Amino acid sequence: MTDEFAKQVRRVIAETFNIDDDEITNQTTADDVDGWDSLAHTILMVRLQRNLKLTIPESLAANSQTVGALIEGLRQLHEKNKP
């Protein structure tokens, strides 16, 4: 079974930082990615909001220490906001 939601999040991250999707794992942190600073993080959150059609709370954006934690937080938010 493929996880299309996780792939979508990873794709946005990869496009934001101009890296290959396969370089991003659940354990990836901002420190692992060149250029992932506070400004780039804000840009990433805006791109994720637009792509996923979600409003990402500041607490989720600021407290997700790994890509996996971010994906799970976004997934929960997505499920909660389904009609």
Q: What angle do CA 11, 58, 51 make, to 5 degrees?
A: 30
- The 3-class SS string of 25-48 reads CCCCCHHHCCCCCHHHHHHHHHHH
Q: Copy the structure tokens of residue 70.
A: 């971010």
Does residue 1 surpass a pLDDT of 60? Answer: no
Q: What is the pLDDT of residues 12-69, one digit of tens each?
A: 999 999 999 999 999 999 999 999 999 999 999 999 999 999 999 999 999 999 999 9
Structural domains present in the chain: 4-80 (1.10.1200.10)
Distance CA 61, CA 4 (A): 21
Provide the pLDDT confidence category of residue 2 given band limits of 50, 70 and 90.
low
